[in-house]
Amino acid sequence: MCRKLFFSISVVLVLSLASNASAGLIAYWPFDSDYSSIVNNAAYQGTPVGTGVSITNTPGEYKIGTGALKIDDDPNDTIANYVDITNSVLPASPIQISVSLWFKYEDISGDGSTSRNFLYESYRRDANTGLITGDYSISLGIRDDTDTSLSGPPKRAQYYYQTATVDGINNGYRPTETGITSPVDDGQWHHIVNIWDRVTGELEFWLDGVQTVYLNPISDLNPTGPAVTDDLRNLLNGYPQTGLRIGNPRAGDGTRNWDGYIDDVAVFSGHLSDADIAYLYNGGVGPPLIPWWESLFLLAPNGGEELMAGTTYTISWESWCVNDVLVEYSTDDGSSWTEVDPPHTSNSESYNWLVPSVNSNQCLIRIGSATDCCGYLSDTSDEPFTIFVCQGPLVGDIDEDCYVDLLDFAVIGEQWFQSPGEPSADIAPEDSGDDVVDFLDLGLVIGDWLQCGNPFDSSCGI
């Protein structure tokens, strides 16, 4: 069953995931084979617009998974090329919004585009006229300016919040740490995360796993348009966005087309944590997002347990949006695998396993599932656990856990001078007992006191 995300991530997510969840997916376009959102596609199915829009599966032209969005501008015309999402990714309820994506561009000004082009921009369509209005809510683009005071070609990655413009990267450097290069114009893949609090107006801009901008608009930003916080309240009180364009600004007129590649665009309701962002960037490698919402996590056994052959042990796991789970075990540290018997079908998130008769301290459990969009997902015990066949006889082992200890003494106490219960403490005379729990039974427990039959336990006397 599908449930709200949390990281065991963030992840991936996948771990797959490395930390506990801070945000849930609103929409996610991996662009591996088409323009659909894996999450909530009924609302967020993308529609390609223009002849320069395609899905590329050429190695080097995608970052995550097997494909990416390719927008190839034609220098001889101004045809609009973008992917159109006709529903708002900014519903009224989430207070914080986080957007993550990977990009690699070919050029900024040129190929029919002006000195600015856009990775995405939300828009509002007037309900009466059907026309796109001039206001915007969130957008991300790269700008090619002619500021001669900056060394080198002045390229800026800019994030636009309502009517305020924020420079996330200026001239290829982090603005707060001049001299540390973070180029956006090198033709390489880069990862950007933007976070926006729609009530306080706080803004964050992350490039390649590093926070380059944090702004509290009340104190740090002096926009030329209406106050950011006022605009945000207007958005919530009657000016809702109605769509999103990936690869073009709200106008969709082709003058500011993206020219290059965009991959793994995800919109989250909530504030991605530092750990989430580090996981998404993953040192420049980047994991797929799918495991954030379609995942398997083995809970137990996860290493160090001691299971006695012939007993029943509950294998447990957590899963998201996974239908059928295969459960297997290994007694040779993963060199070979055997399906549990009887086989597990469907996905109950637990399985009562009859522990096989084997002696091994190199045992593992593996759970796995074939899914439509993710391929094969699996998780395995982090460390080996032990299965042992109890060595005997241990007459005093009343509770049959292969140890004669206080637990057995407690059973004697519960049934003292009574008819035997379950498990039966009537162990004397041996074989059949005498239908009463008394000193004869206690004597047998004392005779085996602190003995055990686990061959992997050095304290056992048998």
Q: Cα–Cα distance between 408 and 386 in angstroms, integer?
A: 23
Verify cis geometry, omega within 30 degrees of 0, for the bond prior to 226: no
CB 90 within 8 A of CB 97: yes
Cβ neighbours of residue 88 closer than 8 Å, sequence gap 6 or more? 122, 240, 241, 242, 243, 244
Confidence at residue 419, expressed as pLDDT on a 0 to 100 scale = 80
Nearest to 100 by CA among 16, 41, 28, 12: 28
Q: Which of 264-273, 287-296, 367-376 has the highest mean pLDDT?
A: 264-273
Give the model confidence (pLDDT) of 27-52 as tens digits. 889 999 899 887 777 788 999 998 88
Q: What does the longest C-alpha to C-alpha distance in the chain come to?
A: 102
Nearest to 381 by CA among 347, 344, 334: 334
Q: Could you give the percent of the chain with pLDDT greater than 70?
A: 68
Q: Which of 21-25, 73-77, 363-367, 444-448 has the highest mean pLDDT?
A: 363-367
Cα dist from 362 to 63, 283, 302, 433, whole Å: 37, 33, 12, 39
Q: Is the confidence at residue 186, as pLDDT, over 90? A: no
Q: Could you give the percent of the chain with pLDDT greater than 90?
A: 21
Least confident piece of the model among 41-50, 186-195, 372-381: 372-381
Q: Cα–Cα distance between 380 and 368 in angstroms, integer?
A: 9
Average pLDDT over residues 299-309: 93
Confidence at residue 329, expressed as pLDDT on a 0 to 100 scale = 97
- Dihedral pair phi/psi, residue 336, rounded to 5°: -145, 155
Least confident piece of the model among 109-113, 241-245, 373-377: 109-113
Q: Is the confidence at residue 178, as pLDDT, over 70? A: no
What are the sequence ranges of the domains in the chain?
23-272, 295-388, 390-462
Q: Which helix (H) or strand (E) holds 338?
A: strand 338-339
The CATH class of 295-388 is mainly beta
SS3 label, residue 412: helix
Q: Which two tokens stand for residue 251?
A: 């106008």
Q: Is the confidence at residue 228, as pLDDT, over 50? A: no
Confidence at residue 7, expressed as pLDDT on a 0 to 100 scale = 29
| More confident: 150 or 448 | 448
| More confident: 112 or 302 | 302
CATH topology of domain 390-462: Type 1 dockerin domain (1.10.1330)
Confidence at residue 181, expressed as pLDDT on a 0 to 100 scale = 40
Average pLDDT over residues 290-312: 81
Confidence at residue 1, expressed as pLDDT on a 0 to 100 scale = 29
Nearest to 50 by CA among 75, 69, 73: 73
Confidence at residue 294, expressed as pLDDT on a 0 to 100 scale = 56
| More confident: 176 or 47 | 47
Q: Is the confidence at residue 359, as pLDDT, over 80? A: yes
Identify the CATH number of the domain defined by range 23-272.
Answer: 2.60.120.200
DSSP E strands, 146-230: 155-161, 164-170, 190-197, 203-207, 210-215
pLDDT band at 265; cut points 50, 70, 90: very high
Confidence at residue 335, expressed as pLDDT on a 0 to 100 scale = 93
